[in-house]
Structure 1
């Protein structure tokens, strides 16, 4: 995947009438922009203490790109050449649009400052013929692949966390549940503005009614995502962690809720359910912040505080 410095951001389409061809063209143009040097003023510069590279992961029936962040050597020659570093598997937000590159600012910082190996999943985007189930499988399969080959990746499988934003947080929450069911012990899960209710009830929360027409998430985008995510006959509750039968025994969770986020009540409700199930959870709310604030440090002053909270939460969990 190239990072073209000359890319221009496309205008927002009409998400209520968009055709499949228009959706594909829009997301390709938007992702070129998000991966470009022109977007760095908004998305932030990578931490100079981390090396960043694309790798392909061979998964069942497919090869999938991942963006890998590793700490660079320190002046005393440490960090980058060490094996047994903590692992953070990250999933970007966006749903039908988005790329791991948009999260370089946060992920490179975590790699350099924890330190850790951060593997960001360039999952299959939701589209006709590519439902949410595909993206969820990508997050889970990358986690299993890296842990299966932990020595090759230089990570300590006993110190692993998952992390995501928006739809990526949904995939991370589903991955945490699948990990528990598979007997895989995660140390932490970090869910930023998680979309944990993908049923028709997702529109009924007060925060959706109050904030849904923000610049970064509007009702037509949510409705398009819902239509694309679930082919006819799919049970949306199966992809809605809020309705899981059992949320006990999961990795401790940090849920970050931008207070002006349409999905704020999703995060609050999920924190309540985790707590009631006996899973340790911390809910951090950021007044005034909007939906995609963690990926917009160039225009969102609250992003730095959230990044610091995530780093310290993961440091405590991964070094315990």
Structure 2
């Protein structure tokens, strides 16, 4: 053999793994030697197997050993694995509450519908009554509040069940309030005049009769003498206008009847008058007048 002859398959330098595989494929295609062909086919098969193993490793990475796996878990979950799950009794209780709420909701809706129906019925009835109502020309509708100024006493602001009118000015007051007013004036007078005025009432009546005599009225000095003999008396005045009261108050029967009529219409109770007879029906005698202690008796 010629030593200068070049080998048909020179040995290349060791390349990377992928390039070696490609070279082996090329060699298997260009080889003509029978012995070397078999050996190279074996190498080709082995190279393909290596390819398959490399691909399988790239797709499915190998798992670490079981001894190297660390499991991370919570201590509370280990102790109470079912603590987050509601208990059957709690679920049953919730269901009962929901059922009860639904029943109450249905009941409230029914009550609301019934009340709304009643309200509509009352509205219709009210409209019907308003439409059928006709004013009565024979009746007068008055507001009792507007009449209060004329029906109530100015002193006690209550109903004048027994009203008395003052002849000098015309103002009216209830009997008890007017008696208290005149009594206060009389008490002030007695503080400076110890002699009661009632004791001089008989003299006062005589002097008034003489003063009113036409024959004596023409004599001035007699009039002056008689006037000087008139005893001192309390000076009573009206509680409202302070006009002097010179005669007894008079009971206002017309006003009394009007007050009683309006009180009955308003549903008020009229106080009863004190009895003037005893249990056997006999008169208790002549009662003193309400003004006998303040004014001279009427002859």
- TM-score w.r.t. the length of structure 1 is 0.17
Choose 1 or 2 for highest CA Rg: 2
Larger proportion of helix: 2
